[in-house]
Structure 1
């Protein structure tokens, strides 16, 4: 007999993640080789753009893991869009990931109402689409090899 609960529990989340990592490591020689190395951990990567007044004009939040950069958020304030700022933020994150962290690829998710064309112009390819997520829209997963 099991008791099923649906509540936020950070300790259980951490325990579950640890156990899942152990299971994954046992199943994958690549993950096993990373066990205990810096590459095993997700390492935050943040790039910020501040305007002349010091206000946030844009930013990129992501992390690196194994040999991948994962871009989570990329945002540019409306007043700075079309200036190339988004391209500069993305290029800087890719550069840090490639040169400082040894990443060979990058991935991200975006929706059709955001900027999939922006990413394809920067060499990303659509590797997955999820229609009607959220309802009425499509989510795209894109990836790029970092040269």
Structure 2
């Protein structure tokens, strides 16, 4: 007999994630080879830009794992857009991932109304497209070689 629950439970989420990671690692020779190395750990990578008053002007939140940088969020305050801040944040994250964490590639997701053209200008290529996610919007997955 199973009991199905629908609640937020951080401890169970972390346990499930750990068990899934172990299962995936056992099934993948590449992931198994990384076990015990720094690349095997998911490590946060954050880059922040503060204005002259110390307020958040922009930032990038992501992580590195298995020789990849995954950009989760990149945002620049409207007052600072068009001045190259987003480019500098992205370049700093890529440089850190490549030079300090031995990452060979980067990936991210963006919607059609956000920044697919921005990322293409920075060398990213479309790896996947999901139309109508959410309805009326197209989501893009983009990747870039960092080496």
SS of corresponding position for 2:64: strand
Offset of residue 37 of structure 1 = 2.3
Offset of residue 66 of structure 1 = 1.2
In structure 2, list runs of 5 or more residues that go unmatched.
Answer: none
Runs of 4+ residues over 4 Å off in structure 1: none
In structure 1, list runs of 5 or more residues that go unmatched.
Answer: none
Pairing 1:1-147 to 2, within 5 Å after superposition: 1-147=1-147
Offset of residue 19 of structure 1 = 1.3
Determine the C-alpha separation between the residues in 1 that align with 2:10 and 2:84: 40
Offset of residue 11 of structure 1 = 1.7
SS of corresponding position for 1:2: coil
**Aligned-residue CA RMSD (Å):** 0.9
SS of corresponding position for 2:74: strand
Compute the TM-score of the two structures, normalised by the length of structure 2: 0.96
Determine the C-alpha separation between the residues in 2 that align with 1:19 and 1:82: 44
Offset of residue 35 of structure 1 = 1.7
After superposition, the C-alpha distances for 1:53-96 in whole angstroms (9 at most, x for unaligned) are 11111111111001100001100110110001100110011000
SS of corresponding position for 1:135: coil
Determine the C-alpha separation between the residues in 2 that align with 1:11 and 1:40: 21
Determine the C-alpha separation between the residues in 2 that align with 1:45 and 1:18: 20
Offset of residue 33 of structure 1 = 1.4
Determine the C-alpha separation between the residues in 2 that align with 1:72 and 1:133: 17
